[in-house]
A and B are shown apart, each in its own frame.
Chain A
Amino acid sequence: MTVTPLGMPRRLVEVTLDGEPVRVPEGSTLLDACRAAGKDVPTLCHGDTLTPKNACRLCMVEVEGSRTLVPACSRKAEPGMEVRTGTERVRHSRKIVLELLASSADLSTTPRAAEWIEEYGARPGRFGPDAARLGEEPRIDNELYVRDYDKCILCYKCVDACGEQWQNTFAIAVAGRGFDARISVEHDAPLPDSACVYCGNCVEVCPTGALSFTSEFDMRAAGTWDESRQTRTTTVCAYCGVGCTLTLHVQDNEIVKVTSPHDNPVTHGNLCIKGRFGYQHVQNRD
Chain B
Amino acid sequence: MDLHFGDSKPTDDERAAVDALLGPPQSAWEGADRSDQDLRWARGGRAVRERRDLLLPGLHAINDRVGWISPGALDYLCRRLTVPPAEAYGVATFYSLFSLRPRPATVLHVCTDLACQAAGAEQVCAQAESRLGPGSGVRIERSPCLGLCERAPAALAIRAGDPVRTAVAAPAGAASAVSAAALPDAAPQEPPAAAAAPQTSGSGPGRDRLLLLGRVGVADPESLDDYRAHGGYTALRRAFALGPAGVIREVTESGLLGRGGAAFPTGRKWQATAAQPEQPHYLVCNADESEPGTFKDRVLMEGDPFALVEAMTIAGYAIGAHRGFLYLRGEYPRALRRMEHAVAQARARGLLGEDVLGQGYAFDIEIRRGAGAYICGEETALFNSLEGRRGEPRSKPPFPVEKGLFGKPTAANNVETLVNVLPVLTLGAQEYAAIGTGRSTGPKLYCVSGSVERPGVYELPFGATLGELLELAGVRQGLRAVLLGGAAGSFVRPDELDIPLTFEGTREAGTTLGSGVVMAFDDRVPLPRLLLRIARFFREESCGQCVPCRVGTVRQEEALRRLAERTGDAADDIALLREVGRAMRDASICGLGQTAWNAVESAIDRLGAYA
A-side interface residues toward B, CB under 8 Å? 54-58, 60, 68-69, 71, 74, 89, 92-93, 95-97, 100-101, 103-104, 126-128, 130-132, 153-154, 156, 163, 168-181, 184-187, 189, 193-195
Q: For the complex, what is the distance from the CA of A179 to the CA of B551, rounded to whole Å?
A: 6
B555 within 8 A of A: yes
> Given the complex of chains A and B, what is the CA–CA distance between A170 and B594 in angstroms?
31
User: Which stretch, B21-29, B350-358, B514-522, B540-548, touches the partner chain A?
Assistant: B540-548
Pairs A–B under 8 Å by Cβ, sample size 18: A57-B546, A60-B586, A69-B587, A92-B582, A92-B586, A97-B547, A100-B547, A100-B583, A127-B576, A170-B84, A175-B89, A176-B94, A176-B544, A186-B71, A186-B74, A187-B85, A195-B4, A195-B85
Cβ A194 vs Cβ B4 within 8 A: yes
Cβ–Cβ < 8 Å partners of A194 in chain B: 4, 86
**B580 beta carbon closer than 8 Å to chain A:** yes
Q: Does B88 contact A (CB under 8 A)?
A: yes
Nearest-neighbor residue (CB-CB) of B75 within chain A: A186
- Interface membership of chain B positions 372-399, coded 1 if the CB is closer than 8 angstroms to chain A and 0 otherwise: 0100000000000000001000010000
Q: Which residues of chain B are near A100, meaning CB under 8 Å?
A: 547-548, 551-552, 555, 580, 583
* Given A170-B87, A171-B84, 8 extra CB contacts under 8 A: A57-B587, A93-B548, A93-B586, A100-B583, A101-B547, A104-B554, A170-B84, A186-B71
Across the two chains, which residue of chain A brings its CB closest to B594? A68
Q: How far is the CA of A240 from the CA of B381 in the complex (A)?
A: 43
Q: In the complex, are the beta carbons of B1 and A169 less than 8 A apart?
A: yes
Give chain A nearest CB distance to B409 CB in angstroms. 19
Measured between beta carbons, the chain A residues less than 8 angstroms from B582 are 92-93, 96
Residues A153 and B547 in contact, CB atoms below 8 Å apart: yes
Check B6 for interface membership: any CB of A closer than 8 A: yes
* Closest residue on chain B to residue A59 by CB atoms: B587
Distance (whole angstroms) from the CB of A191 to the closest CB of chain B: 11
Q: A57-B546, A93-B583, A131-B555 are in contact. Are A177 and B85 (CB under 8 A)?
A: no
The complex places the Cα of A74 from the Cα of B373 at a distance, in Å, of 26
- Across the two chains, which residue of chain B brings its CB closest to A102? B551
Instruction: Judge whether A68 and B587 touch: CB under 8 Å.
Output: yes
Contacts of B90 in A (CB 8 A): 173-175, 184
With A60-B586, A71-B395, A92-B582 as contacts: A168 and B1 at CB distance below 8 Å: yes
User: Closest residue of chain A to B575, judged by CB?
Assistant: A126
- Kindly list chain B residues whose C-beta atoms are within 8 Å of the C-beta of A179: 539, 542, 544, 550-551, 553-554
The one of A96, A163, A171, A181 that contacts B552, using a Cβ cutoff of 8 Å: A96
Dominant secondary structure at the B interface? helix
B 559-576 contacts with A by CB, 8 A: 562, 568, 576
Q: Once the chains are docked, how many angstroms separate the CA of A177 from the CA of B548?
A: 14
Q: Could you tell me the distance between the alpha carbons of A101 and B549 in the complex, rounded to whole angstroms?
A: 11
Q: Provide the residues of chain B in CB contact with A132, threshold 8 Å.
A: 554, 558
Within the complex, the shortest CB–CB distance from A1 to chain B, in Å, comes to 35
Say whether, besides A127-B555, A131-B558, A178-B541, A173 and B89 are in contact (CB < 8 Å): yes
Q: Find out whether the CB atom of B558 lies under 8 angstroms from the CB atom of A186.
A: no
Q: B100: CB under 8 A from chain A?
A: yes
Chain A residues lying within 8 Å of B576, measured Cβ to Cβ, are: 126-127
Interfacial residues, chain B to chain A (CB-CB below 8 A): 1-4, 6, 71, 74, 84-90, 93-94, 96, 100, 373, 390, 395, 539-548, 550-555, 558, 562, 568, 576, 579-580, 582-583, 585-589, 594
Q: Given A178-B543, A186-B74, are A130 and B88 neighbors across the interface (CB < 8 Å)?
A: no
Closest 3 CB pairs of A and B: A173-B90, A170-B84, A195-B4
Residues in chain A near residue B87, CB distance under 8 A: 163, 170, 173
Complex partner residue of A187 from B89, B96, B586, B587, CB under 8 angstroms: B89
CA A189 to CA B84, docked complex, whole Å: 14
A169/B2 in contact, CB under 8 A: yes
Tell me, in angstroms, the Cα distance from A58 to B93 when the chains sit together: 27
Chain A residues closer than 8 Å to B89, beta-carbon distance: 173, 175, 184-187
Cβ–Cβ contact B588 & A177, under 8 A: no
Which residue of the partner chain B has the closest CB to A134? B551
Which chain A residues lie closer than 8 Å to B544 at the CB level?
Answer: 154, 174, 176-181
Q: Are B84 and A57 in contact (CB under 8 A)?
A: no
How many angstroms between the C-alpha atoms of A57 and B1 in the bound complex? 31
Q: Which residues of A contact B4 (CB under 8 A)?
A: 171, 194-195
Complex Cα distance A180/B90, Å? 12
Asked, given contacts A93-B586, A179-B551, whether A193 binds B542 with beta carbons under 8 Å apart, the answer is no
Chain B residues near A171 (CB-CB < 8 A): 4, 84, 86
B93 touches A177 (CB 8 A): yes
Q: Is B85 a contact of A186 with CB atoms below 8 Å?
A: yes
Rounded to whole Å, the gap between the CB of B550 and the closest CB of chain A is 6
The distance in angstroms between the C-alpha atoms of A130 and B86, with both chains bound, is 32
- The residues of B that contact A186 with a CB separation of less than 8 Å are 6, 71, 74, 85-86, 88-89
Of chain B, the residue at the smallest CB distance from A154 is B544
A177 touches B542 (CB 8 A): yes
For the complex, give the distance between the alpha carbons of A107 and B548 in Å: 17
Known: A54-B395, A74-B395, A128-B558. A96 touches B542 (CB 8 A): no
Instruction: List residues of chain A with CB within 8 A of the CB of B585.
Output: 68
Q: Which residues of A contact B395 (CB under 8 A)?
A: 54, 71, 74
B510: min CB distance to chain A, Å = 16
B540 interface neighbour in A54, A89, A127, A178, Cβ under 8 Å: A178
| Residues of chain B with a CB closer than 8 A to A154's CB | 544-545, 547, 550
Contact in complex: A57, B579 (CB < 8 Å) = no
A193 in contact with B6 given A93-B583, A186-B85 (CB within 8 Å): yes
Which B residues are in CB contact (< 8 Å) with A181? 543-544, 550
- The reply to whether B545 and A184 contact each other, CB–CB distance below 8 Å, is no
Our pick among A56, A92, A193 for the contact of B546 (Cβ within 8 Å) is A56
Residues of A within 8 A of B390 (CB): 173-174
Residues in A whose Cβ lies below 8 Å from that of B545: 55, 154, 156
